[in-house]
Chain A
Amino acid sequence: QKEVEQNSGPLSVPEGAIASLNCTYSDRGSQSFFWYRQYSGKSPELIMSIYSNGDKEDGRFTAQLNKASQYVSLLIRDSQPSDSATYLCASRNAGNMLTFGGGTRLMVKP
């Protein structure tokens, strides 16, 4: 079992819709969670971090964490074609290294 699992996609949504990206993790010692966005050939860019159970909102993005279910999600409201990218879920334990999922490719169609 992979430590952080994501559906590879592609997830295709129409412009203006809500995109929902999901991630599960196996290490209960994970303390914090991150969503990175990566455009093809570019560096991963942090868009959200979440440390405690519940929702965290930042603009069009909402991250959700449920430690009991070991589940992290990212919602993107009013999806735009420019949101088309690969979204990487990562966990961090006390050792500070990030453990990544394989990424979900999101396609937002005009």
Chain B
Amino acid sequence: EAGVTQFPSHSVIEKGQTVTLRCDPISGHDNLYWYRRVMGKEIKFLLHFVKESKQDESGMPNNRFLAERTGGTYSTLKVQPAELEDSGVYFCASSQSLADTQYFGPGTRLTVL
């Protein structure tokens, strides 16, 4: 069974540009989570989808971040416009039900210059 996959693995963009990160959860997992780790800090929660609905988006830093999960399968996280402080590693995780283990993807390393 394939794990959580994320694309791209690395992205380098300039301040003010737009970047879209993609996450494909484990097949059949209704719950999808986005987290990020900025330099020197701990991994922090961004938001949680149950199927295509946003269950909790309390961790989204500001309105430059937009997450979608159309159709309840893969998810995208768009940053527009990107700022320097958005640099970090963005992780996606999925779980079958709410109380189940969250399985993490390899992350996308975003560098904003």
Contacts and interface: CB of A to CB of B under 8 A. Distances in A.
B42 A98 contact: no
Interface in B18-43: 31, 33, 35, 41-43
Contacts of A45: 104
Interface residues of B, number: 26
Contacts of A98: 33, 35, 43, 45, 93, 102
Interface residues of A, number: 20
Interface in A83-110: 88, 95-103
A43 B42 contact: no
Contact of B91 (A43, A49, A99): A43
B98 A96 contact: yes
A96 B41 contact: no
B103 A46 contact: yes
B106 A88 contact: no
B110 interface: no
A95 B47 CA distance: 11
A101 B102 CA distance: 16
Given A43-B105, A44-B104, A45-B104, A97 B59 contact: yes
A49 B98 CA distance: 15
B4 interface: yes
B41 A97 contact: no
A103 B4 CA distance: 22
Cβ-closest 10 pairs across A and B: A97-B45, A100-B43, A43-B104, A102-B42, A43-B106, A44-B104, A100-B42, A96-B98, A46-B101, A43-B105
Interface of B: 3-4, 31, 33, 35, 41-45, 48, 55-56, 58-59, 91, 93, 98-99, 101-107
Interface of A: 2, 4, 36, 41-46, 49, 88, 95-103
Given A98-B93, A100-B35, 12 more contacts: A4-B42, A42-B106, A43-B107, A44-B43, A46-B101, A88-B43, A96-B48, A96-B99, A97-B48, A98-B43, A99-B45, A100-B43
